[in-house]
Amino acid sequence: MSVIALHPKHEQERDRVDAPETGRVAPLPQLSPAPPLAFSLKGIGKRFGDKTVLDGIDLDVPEGQFVAVIGKSGCGKSTLLRILAGLDKPTSGTLTIPVGSAPDRRSRIMFQEPRLLPWARIGRNVEVGLTGIAKGEVARDLSLKILDEVGLADRAEEWPSVLSGGQKQRVALARALVAHPFILALDEPLGALDALTRIEMQQLLERIWQQQNFTAVLVTHDVAEAVALADRVVVVDEGRIALDLPIPLARPRRHGSAETARLEGQILDRLFGRG
């Protein structure tokens, strides 16, 4: 991360967590003061040699928002996510994550592959998410709790090789969430799953996001998935933001409603330059 700016005025931000869990309705009619920012990208550019992958991305994401980033293959959306997660450094521009009262501003990333350690049992794999944070009994309890959230508490002592693809991805999700990250970056985590498992995983992801209140950034090329999950869809094209569209649909959302179809159409039109 290039810059971590101090914004002490955001110190009350965690109070919002206590708000009753009556489904977040998007768009939030923003009363002043505006919710604090989870992160802010300013003029982010990334070049690999001669190839410009990102070219001046500006994006402010308020805390707790679910943003989906969509684009064609090679549009730079994964690179954007890697920069956000601190895996790559931008060639130009700054990433700002305001430091507030929260003890840590951890970000986690989840990939298309589960990347579980095949030689560690499911429980130990989840505990990897607590490296340097908790150990022993504490780590064991925390990981069992989060495994319960993803519906795999009874599999904690099994090897990853006996799980199905969807279950492995649920373990990876548990590992990413066990330390309660502030930002969760998701790099097409459902891309390799079959259609039914995908929908199941989307619902799980939405439920856990509503419970844990983290900021989620989902990179996907599935327009329906983006509209089903996100508060806001950002379309990236040739390294720039081509569309920034709020998704003002109440949750839980239904697949295939007229409103979803209209929004999906709008995004697809932009993606294929018909907009």
Strands 183-187, 232-237: pairing is unpaired
Considering beta carbons, is residue 185 or 230 the nearer one to other proteins? Answer: 185
Say whether residue 157 binds other proteins (CB under 8 A). Answer: no
Say whether residue 117 binds other proteins (CB under 8 A). Answer: yes
Kindly give, in sequence order, each residue whose CB lies less than 8 Å from that of residue 182, ignoring residues fewer than 6 positions away: 38, 102, 104, 105, 106, 107, 214, 215
Say whether residue 111 binds other proteins (CB under 8 A). Answer: yes
Interface pattern 39-78 for other proteins (x via CB under 8 A): ----------------------------------------
Say whether residue 4 binds other proteins (CB under 8 A). Answer: no
φ/ψ of residue 86, rounded to 5: 80, 15
Q: Which among 41-49, 121-129, 136-144, 240-248 is the span making contact with other proteins, rule CB under 8 A?
A: 121-129
Instruction: Using CA atoms of 224, 184, 181, 82 in order, give the dihedral in degrees to the nearest 10.
Output: 170
Provide the 3-class DSSP secondary structure of residue 11. Answer: helix
Task: Name the minimum Å distance from CB 128 to other proteins.
Answer: 5
Task: Name the minimum Å distance from CB 243 to other proteins.
Answer: 30
Say whether residue 109 binds other proteins (CB under 8 A). Answer: yes
Which ranges of the chain does DSSP label H, i.e. alpha helix?
Answer: 77-84, 122-127, 136-149, 165-177, 195-212, 223-229, 258-271
Q: Which among 88-96, 116-124, 204-212, 250-258 is the span making contact with other proteins, rule CB under 8 A?
A: 116-124
Say whether residue 88 binds other proteins (CB under 8 A). Answer: no
Out of 3, 4, 34, 87, which residue is the one contacting other proteins (CB under 8 A)?
87
Number of residues that bind other proteins (CB under 8 A): 21
Beta pairing partners, 227: none
Distance CA 167, CA 181 (A): 21
Beta pairing partners, 215: 183
Say whether residue 20 binds other proteins (CB under 8 A). Answer: no
Q: Of 106, 212, 122, 100, nearest to 168 (Cα)?
A: 122
Query: Which positions lie near other proteins, rule CB under 8 A?
Result: 85, 87, 108-109, 111, 113, 115, 117-121, 128-129, 131-132, 159-162, 175
